[in-house]
Amino acid sequence: AEISGWSTEIAPEAINCAAPDTGNMETLHLFATEEQRARWLQPLLAGEIRSAFSMTEPAVASSDARNIQTRIVRDGDHYVINGHKWWTSGANDPRCTILIVMGRTNPEAASHQQQSMVLVPADTPGVHIKRSTGVFGWQDQHGHAEIVYDDVRVPVSNLLGEEGAGFAIAQARLGPGRIHHCMRAIGVAERALALMTDRVSNRIAFGKPLAEQGMVQHAIALSRNEIDQARLLCEKAAWTIDQHGNRAAHGLVSQIKAVAPQMACNVIDRAIQTHGAAGVCDDTPLARMYGWQRAMRIFDGPDEVHLRTIARTEIGRDKGALA
């Protein structure tokens, strides 16, 4: 269907911002051995296979990666993996060939050095995909897998980086990944605003187009301001990563991760209001768009974690200028 040139259909990848391959390719580029890159990264770059990142667990608060309980135990020349994961985005895709699994290799080490990451081929015996978890009732692409790892054995050569480096690898992976999510959130908000302006230009209420109603104009103006503010913050965070690396951009990444999904939710919510009943049903993409952006306030770190990071960064700034 078309609304004045705008299709009401929306590609799933424009809503589901999981896009696990982007972060996984960056992880392999940064931390994999040459042999691992040849086996997994090159086919990923060529689009021949897909991948999934298996970190989050249902039994613990995985926003603190130190809580992860999956065990990775060395047995001679192999690691044996036992654990329960979910929200492993992309694992249900029949093209998914490789899983990056995070688990605990040394429970006695310092808290940030207990975790490691291991490459697990998806067809390894003991990898049991149980189901796909929906997002507000929607199934995104191939979904987000719940997986049980039951005595999964892989060669020690499948270790990514070094033992105990899992937490550091996760942080390196999640920074740019969060930027990617925020870029797409800004794009989704732009789409919602375009649908909103089209709707109010063509919908008559109380004797005149909605576009002439002051409250509607206010909603449109707020949406434009919020989108552009988020875009500039996202560009600043991305520029800082390019120029100075992930560590220097840590606070900025938390800022945009807290700002972008909330902004997108605000804009989409206004668009839903202007569409009335059409905004909450499947005749427009708005309900599905809202559901995913609302979920984005949880995945890759909930708002509260990022707000804590922002506050700590601000409190820790040099206060010499105030003297």
- 113 & 258 share domain: no
C-beta of residue 49 within 8 angstroms of C-beta of residue 78: no
Give the residue from 105, 140, 162 where a domain finishes: 162
Query: Are 273 and 212 within one domain?
Result: yes
Task: Tell me which residue has tokens 């992860």.
Answer: 68
How many domains does the chain fold into?
2
Look-up: residue for tokens 């895709």? 93
Q: Is the pLDDT of residue 32 over 50?
A: yes
Residue 322 has pLDDT above 70, yes or no: no
Give the pLDDT band of residue 317 (cuts 50, 70, 90): confident
For tokens 């480096």, what's the residue? 165
97, 178: one domain? no
Whole-angstrom CA distances from 71 to 32, 80, 116, 122 are: 21, 8, 10, 18
**Single pTM value for the model:** 0.82
Mean pLDDT of 273-297: 95
Chosen domain end from 162, 192, 227: 162
- Domain containing 262 — which CATH number? 1.20.140.10
Residue 290 confidence (pLDDT) above 70: yes
In a domain, 5, yes or no: no
Task: Evaluate if residue 20 carries a pLDDT over 90.
Answer: no
Q: Which residue has the higher pLDDT, 6 or 311?
A: 311
Q: Is the pLDDT of residue 76 over 50?
A: yes
Tens-digit pLDDT profile for residues 209-250? 999 999 999 999 999 999 999 999 999 999 999 999 888 999
Domain end point (choices 162, 186, 205): 162
Give the structural domain span for 272: 169-322
Question: What digits encode the pLDDT tens for the residues 114-149?
Answer: 999 999 999 999 999 999 998 888 887 777 999 999
Domain holding 131: CATH number?
A: 2.40.110.10
How confident is the prediction for the chain on average, in pLDDT? 90
Between 132-136, 162-166, 261-265, 278-282, the lowest mean confidence (pLDDT) is in 132-136
> Has residue 3 been placed in a domain?
no
Q: Residues 86, 139, 286, 237: what is their CA dihedral angle, to the nearest 10 degrees? A: 40
